[in-house]
Amino acid sequence: MDHMHHALSYDWSVFYIVLSYVIAALASYVSLEVAARAGQRPAQSRGRVWLLAQAFLLGYGIWAMHFVGMLAFQVSATVSYNLPLTILSGILAAALMYPALLILHGGPLRLPRLLLAGLVSGSGIVLMHYLGMFAFQVPGTEVAVRPVPFVLSVVIAVGASMAAFYLFRLVSSSGATRLSTPALAGLKLAAGLVMGGAIVAMHYTGMAAWQFNVVDDEMMYQAAGGVDTDFLALVISVVSIMLLSLTVTKLLMDASLAPAPTK
């Protein structure tokens, strides 16, 4: 039986939108804290460990924000997630973040270096986002990609990465060490809030590029493959906030126990 194609009706959950921003901002702030340590001696083994930690935390934070942001997309249909694609999207986000950070800290900060690092990181974010979108499956629908929001999402991903990397170098520079503790903390907090907003903007712009068209109304409501989105949101949000909060606690404890510099 033929069905006339029409766009899938949907609504947005304000709660999940706000939660996705909180996760993105917290991940950004934690990454800035780690960057202050990773950027001091990036060529040494300890610096490489901090770079790996930064890549993982930022990549995971962006992926968690993306997943919660997907749950904000409320449809009156049975949805399912392709688990291998979902996991792969998270791996790519962190995997491409590490070489981008190596490029960033590979020499003096110049626009070409910043652009190359942003392109590598932005590519990981874009691949993560759209693989995650492919993993979000609604039976009885087919997907059309809107070119303008798609291109805009890529530009935002690269631009946000470049801005983030500039801030990473800023907080790990010798000039940052001359700031007072409250001033440096305020800089990191403000930068984390701005970075979180840029990450969220890329995500929801990318979602605007993804249009679900209904081709079979009856298939949309099949029971098989349904997911409890509230449970998924709870697990991912709790794990993300605990992981990022524990990282901040560890960093702050290390800073408080560090010996005072000799005069």
- 74-78, 122-126, 139-143, 241-245 — which is least confidently predicted? 241-245
Instruction: List pLDDT tens digits, range 178-203.
Output: 777 778 778 888 888 888 898 899 99
pLDDT digits (tens, 9 = 90+) for 45-61: 666 777 888 888 888 88
**What ranges do the domains of the chain cover?**
6-252
pLDDT band at 10 (very low <50, low <70, confident <90, very high): confident
Q: Are 61 and 240 in contact (CB under 8 A)?
A: yes
Pull the structure tokens for residue 127.
Answer: 């691949």
Q: How far apart, in whole angstroms, are the C-alpha atoms of residue 249 and residue 235?
A: 21
Q: pLDDT tens digit string along 198-207?
A: 889 999 999 9
Question: Can you tell me which residue has the tokens 């712009």?
Answer: 205
Query: For residue 210, what are the β-bridge partners?
Result: 145
Give me the mean pLDDT over the 215-235 stretch. Answer: 64
Q: pLDDT at position 123, please?
A: 92
